[in-house]
C-alpha cells in the first residue's frame, strides 16, 4: 500500500466533517428555538398588555356604573322631598315658585335620563360620569341619544375608551379657552348603514397645520406626561373594529365623528 495512513486520514476527516455539520445543525436548531421562544414572549407580552388595558377599562366602567347607580338611588330618594316641596308650594298657592322649582328639578333629572338610553350599561355610565365631570368644571354637557346601539358589535370597553378620549379632549379644549359659555355635546344616532357618534365642543378651531398630526402617537400641544396618546388610541381601536373618525373644525365648533358600518 503506497499510503498506509490515507484511509485513516480520510476517515478522520470524515468524522470531523460530520461533527462540524452536526454542530451547525444543532446551532441552527438552537437559533430556531431561541427565535420561537422570543416570538412566544412577544405574543405573551402583547396579550398581557392588551388584557391589562382591558382590565383598566373594565375597572373604569365598573366605577362609572357604581357612580351612576349611586346617582339614581339619590334621585329616587330625593323624589319624596321634591314632592313635599311641590305640595307645600301648592298649598301656599305659590304657583310661580312651584313652576320654577319643577323646572330646575326636571332639568336635573333629565340629565341622568338622557345618559341611560342605550342598551349598553357601560356607555350609559360613562356618559353620566363625563356629564358630572363637565359640570364640575363649569361646562354644559348635552347628550342626545337616538339609538340603543343594540346591534353594535364593538366591545363595550373599547367603545368606552374611544368616547372617553374624545370627550376628555373636548373638555381640555374648553379648559384652555376664555369663553363664558362652554359646551360639550354628544350625539349618538344611527342610519340604515352606520352607527354614528359625534363629540362636539365650542372651543377654538384646531389649526390646519396640525389636523393630521393630532392622530399620530405622541403628538401633543400640551406639556408634561400623559398627553399625545388619546387620539392615537382612538385610531388604533377604530382600525381594529372597522371604524373611522372624521374631524370638522371651525371657529367656535369642533366635531369628531366616529362611524361604524352595520354588518349586512
Contacts of 64 (CB under 8 A, 6+ apart): 122, 125, 126, 128, 129
For residues 49 and 174, give the distance between their C-alpha atoms in angstroms, rounded to a whole number.
32
Helix %, strand %, coil % of the chain (to 5): 60, 15, 25
Residue 82: predicted pLDDT: 73
CATH code, 215: 3.30.565.10
Q: Is residue 11 part of a domain?
A: no
For 244, the domain range is 118-264
Say if residue 196's pLDDT is above 80. yes
Residue 256: predicted pLDDT: 95
Q: Is residue 103 part of a domain?
A: no
Q: Is residue 91 part of a domain?
A: no
Number of Cβ within a 10 Å radius of residue 21? 10
Q: Is residue 248 part of a domain?
A: yes
The percent of residues above 70 in pLDDT, for the chain, comes to 72
Q: Is residue 101 part of a domain?
A: no
Q: Is residue 233 part of a domain?
A: yes
**pLDDT mean over 201-218:** 82
Q: End-to-end CA distance of the chain, in Å?
A: 87
Into how many domains does the chain fold? 1
Say if residue 1's pLDDT is above 60. no
Q: Is the pTM of this model over 0.85?
A: no
Amino acid at each position: 500500500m503506497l499510503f498506509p495512513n490515507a484511509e485513516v486520514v480520510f476517515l478522520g476527516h470524515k468524522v470531523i466533517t460530520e461533527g462540524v455539520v452536526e454542530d451547525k445543525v444543532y446551532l441552527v436548531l438552537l437559533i430556531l428555538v431561541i427565535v420561537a421562544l422570543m416570538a412566544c414572549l412577544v405574543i405573551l407580552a402583547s396579550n398581557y398588555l392588551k388584557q391589562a388595558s382591558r382590565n383598566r377599562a373594565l375597572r373604569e366602567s365598573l366605577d362609572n356604573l357604581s357612580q351612576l347607580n349611586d346617582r339614581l338611588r339619590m334621585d329616587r330618594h330625593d323624589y319624596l322631598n321634591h314632592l313635599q316641596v311641590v305640595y307645600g308650594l301648592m298649598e301656599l298657592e305659590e304657583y310661580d315658585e312651584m313652576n320654577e322649582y319643577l323646572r330646575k328639578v326636571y332639568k336635573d333629572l333629565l340629565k341622568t335620563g338622557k345618559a341611560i338610553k342605550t342598551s349598553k350599561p357601560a356607555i350609559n355610565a360613562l356618559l353620566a360620569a363625563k356629564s358630572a365631570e363637565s359640570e364640575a368644571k363649569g361646562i354644559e354637557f348635552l347628550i342626545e341619544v337616538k339609538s340603543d346601539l343594540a346591534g353594535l358589535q364593538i366591545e363595550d370597553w373599547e367603545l368606552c375608551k374611544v368616547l372617553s378620549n374624545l370627550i376628555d379632549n373636548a373638555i381640555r379644549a374648553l379648559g384652555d379657552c376664555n369663553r363664558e359659555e362652554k359646551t360639550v355635546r354628544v350625539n349618538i344616532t344611527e342610519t340604515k348603514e352606520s352607527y354614528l357618534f359625534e363629540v362636539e365642543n365650542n372651543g377654538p378651531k384646531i389649526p390646519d397645520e396640525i389636523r393630521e398630526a393630532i392622530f399620530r402617537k405622541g403628538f401633543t400641544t400640551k406639556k408634561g406626561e400623559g398627553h399625545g396618546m388619546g387620539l392615537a388610541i382612538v385610531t388604533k381601536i377604530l382600525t381594529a373594529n372597522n371604524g373611522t373618525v372624521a374631524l370638522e373644525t371651525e371657529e367656535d365648533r369642533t366635531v369628531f365623528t366616529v362611524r361604524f358600518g352595520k354588518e349586512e
